[in-house]
Chains A and B, each alone.
Chain A
Amino acid sequence: DIQMTQSPSTLSASVGDRVTITCRASQSISSWLAWYQQGPGKAPKLLIYKASTLQSGVPSRFSGSGSGTEFTLTISSLQPDDFATYYCQQYNSYPLTFGGGTKVEIK
Chain B
Amino acid sequence: EVQLLESGGGLVQPGGSLRLSCAASGFTFSNYAMNWVRQAPGKGLEWVSGFRSSSGIIDYVDSVKGRFTISRDNSKSTLYLQMNSLRAEDTAIYYCAKVYGTSGAIFDYWGQGTLVTVSS
* A residues apposed to B, CB below 8 Å: 1, 34, 36, 38, 43-46, 49, 55, 87, 89, 91, 94-101
Contacts and interface: CB of A to CB of B under 8 A. Distances in A.
Contacts of B110: 43-45
Contacts of A49: 100, 103, 106
Interface string B82-115: 0000000000000100001001111110111100
Interface string B7-39: 000000000000000000000000000010100
A71 to B, nearest CB: 14
Contact of B47 (A38, A55, A98, A101): A98
Contacts of A46: 100, 106-108
B36 to A, nearest CB: 11
Interface of B: 35, 37, 44-47, 50, 52, 59-62, 95, 100, 103-108, 110-113
Given A43-B95, A43-B111, A49-B100, A95 B45 contact: no
A38 B110 CA distance: 11
Nearest to B6: A43
Contacts of B95: 43-44
A2 to B, nearest CB: 12
Contacts of B103: 49, 91
Contact of A89 (B60, B106, B113): B106
Contacts of A44: 37, 45, 95, 107, 110
A87 B44 contact: yes
Contacts of B52: 94
B47 A97 contact: yes
Contacts of A34: 106
Given A89-B45, A98-B46, A101-B45, 4 more contacts: A91-B104, A94-B59, A95-B61, A100-B44
